[in-house]
A and B are shown apart, each in its own frame.
Chain A
Amino acid sequence: MPSLRDLQVDVLKAVLSAEDGRAARRVVARGIPAMRRLGIYANNARVNFHESLQASFPAVLRLVGEEYFHQCAREYQKRYPSTCGDLQYTGTRLPDYLAELHVNDEFRYLGDVARLEWLRQETLISADHRPLDFEKLAAIAPSEYAELRFRLHPSARLFDSEYPCWNIWQANVASDGEPEIIDLATGPDRLLLIRRTLQIEAHRLSHGERSFLIAVREGEGFERAVEDGVNCDSEFSAAAALQRFVLAGAIVDLE
């Protein structure tokens, strides 16, 4: 008699990869071949996985069409089966998978669009945070700003791509009609995504602003973050950046 674990290993293999192995011998056929019975669960597993990916990557789905999307999803599931009971995470590696698959072809931007969609999802489900307490900042003399560490809103995500992914996403998800043709040469994108209320906001960034925010995100002090901004972009203004990101709700605390 198989142990419970042995049975589960065999059954999961049959469900995830349709291998006609030991699982079939564990199952009572009763008029229907065992692999066809196991196939019902295999179909459920595939559909649940695919539907989760569709929900997470609607722009990618629209760009490549259902048939190719499901073909990719099948191969992706074989390589990266789900590793948790929360279907929201099935797509964690899809952006990298698509980037690798289409590194030099007509869909070479697809991995980046998928990455943008994944970051949007992360932004959407992140924690809320109250805005920066201005009195806390006002209590600190500007001469002491150098060592301050600012904190970003929990939903803040930075995205960059050589392709115009935000416009591609909007054309394929945010509009109802036939998507307009986007020239891939109209990139790059440097974006800050945040969610202060219930909607995601996207802010376009200069090179300097992006470097500044990366440093803040990594816990660097204000002086170091400003240095990074200036080193990247001689026109970077610390005062303008601080004002912009505090008012945008991206900087929400300090220590």
Chain B
Amino acid sequence: MSGKALSNSDRRSVPAGAGVGLRAPHHLIVMSEAPRVAWFEAHTENYFADGGPHVYAMEKIRANYPLSLHGVGLSLGSTDPLNREHLKKVSRAVKRFEPALVSEHVSWSSVGGKYANDLLPLPYTEEALRHVCGRIAEVQDVLGRQILVENVSSYLEFANSGMTEWEFVAGVAAESGCGILLDVNNIYVASCNHDFDPLHYLNAIEAQTVQEFHLAGHSRISIEGREVLIDTHSTRVCDAVWELYGSAVRRFGKVPTLIEWDTDIPALDVLLEEADKADAVGASVNAVAA
């Protein structure tokens, strides 16, 4: 990016190339050096403030880069009433920073007014599907726009699930009209933790619903002698996830792809290297297809 202010038409879309997660430790370097990256994604809640350095940085960065806002705290799947105060803050952030994409998660994090502040899995039932779709409809109505919802990493399955996770996620998009933010690393993590073929997941999602990919690193722990993958966002994307990403690009085409890194955050150059790698994978898939 040249540092030239974006035109209005550029602000309304995120390019199909790779972007990186915008984190506070990188605010200064992004503002001062205008690195070559297609777009940024930020956690919506980090920009709820009325003023101050983070909001100042976002306004400066937003003038020069397309933006996606990715929320983690709306608790879409909770059976509590939708948190209108939180949604109001999301709405204000959307109006203030004019992101091209707005997203949340197919998960819940609260009930009875208490929050776990983690993305908890849903049982994949008709009741949960109807409930989540109803919530998404409410949010899209308040925000006046389509949102994307992301599949979360999973470390457990509920005994009363009547469908697979991929059937559930596909159903959410089909019934609510939202888009899908397909987290390729989360699919890989879940496939290892629950012994399924990740390609089944990709093939079950309608192609036109996927509007963004996430790529991230994960960690491995051992519980009772069994390996469990944990979605830590703390390291580079592994080879197996790059391979699955290639399959995803072949199926869904080149859509905006985000490199996520939220813990043990490295220098910005490391994220940019991962973004370049994502662009290279996308280009090689398209080259073969052509």
Interface of A toward B, CB cutoff 8 Å: 1-5, 7-9, 11-12, 15-16, 25-28, 30-34, 36-38, 40-41, 44-45, 48-49, 52, 81-88, 90, 124-128, 154-155, 195, 198
- Is B283 on the interface with A (CB-CB < 8 A)? no
* Chain B CB within 10 A, most for which of A9, A12, A26, A85: A85
Measured CB to CB, the nearest residue on chain A to B86 is A85
Which one of B47-55, B177-185, B238-246, B268-276 is at the interface?
B47-55
The count of chain B contact residues (Cβ–Cβ below 8 Å) is 51
A81 in contact with B115 (CB, 8 Å): yes
Q: Write 17 A-B pairs (CB below 8 A) sorted by A numbering.
A: A5-B79, A11-B120, A16-B116, A25-B159, A26-B158, A27-B157, A33-B224, A45-B116, A85-B72, A85-B75, A86-B48, A86-B73, A124-B52, A125-B52, A126-B50, A155-B51, A195-B51
A48 in contact with B118 (CB, 8 Å): yes
Q: Which B residues touch A31, using CB under 8 A?
A: 224, 226
Known interface pairs A36-B224, A41-B155, A198-B52. Does A30 touch B72 (Cβ–Cβ under 8 Å)?
no
Measured CB to CB, the nearest residue on chain B to A49 is B117
B118 in contact with A44 (CB, 8 Å): yes
B50 in contact with A198 (CB, 8 Å): no
Known interface pairs A15-B120, A81-B114, A87-B117. Does A8 touch B108 (Cβ–Cβ under 8 Å)?
yes
Give A233 Cβ to nearest chain B Cβ, in Å: 32
**Per a CB cutoff under 8 Å, which of B56, B160, B194 touches A2?**
B160
Measured CB to CB, the nearest residue on chain B to A200 is B52
B52 in contact with A195 (CB, 8 Å): yes
B111 in contact with A9 (CB, 8 Å): yes
Give B106 Cβ to nearest chain A Cβ, in Å: 14
- Is B45 on the interface with A (CB-CB < 8 A)? yes
**Per a CB cutoff under 8 Å, which of A4, A36, A38 touches B79?**
A4
Known interface pairs A2-B160, A84-B73. Does A32 touch B226 (Cβ–Cβ under 8 Å)?
yes
Cα separation A44 to B131 with both chains bound (whole Å): 25
A32 in contact with B228 (CB, 8 Å): yes
**Per a CB cutoff under 8 Å, which of A25, A37, A83 touches B115?**
A83
Cα separation A185 to B288 with both chains bound (whole Å): 75
B114 in contact with A12 (CB, 8 Å): yes
- Is B289 on the interface with A (CB-CB < 8 A)? no
Measured CB to CB, the nearest residue on chain B to A198 is B53
Q: Which A residues touch B73, using CB under 8 A?
A: 84-87
Cα separation A117 to B161 with both chains bound (whole Å): 45
Cα separation A83 to B110 with both chains bound (whole Å): 8
Q: Which B residues touch A36, using CB under 8 A?
A: 223-224
Cα separation A81 to B114 with both chains bound (whole Å): 6
- Is B89 on the interface with A (CB-CB < 8 A)? yes
B155 in contact with A37 (CB, 8 Å): yes
Which one of B2-10, B122-130, B139-147 is at the interface?
B122-130
Contact with A along B198-217 (1 / 0, CB 8 A): 00000000000000000000
A88 in contact with B115 (CB, 8 Å): no
Cα separation A127 to B51 with both chains bound (whole Å): 4
A4 in contact with B128 (CB, 8 Å): yes
Give B129 Cβ to nearest chain A Cβ, in Å: 10
Cα separation A52 to B118 with both chains bound (whole Å): 13
Give B103 Cβ to nearest chain A Cβ, in Å: 14
Measured CB to CB, the nearest residue on chain B to A28 is B157
**Per a CB cutoff under 8 Å, which of B113, B158, B223, B230 touches A32?**
B223
Q: Which B residues touch A38, using CB under 8 A?
A: 156
Cα separation A174 to B263 with both chains bound (whole Å): 24
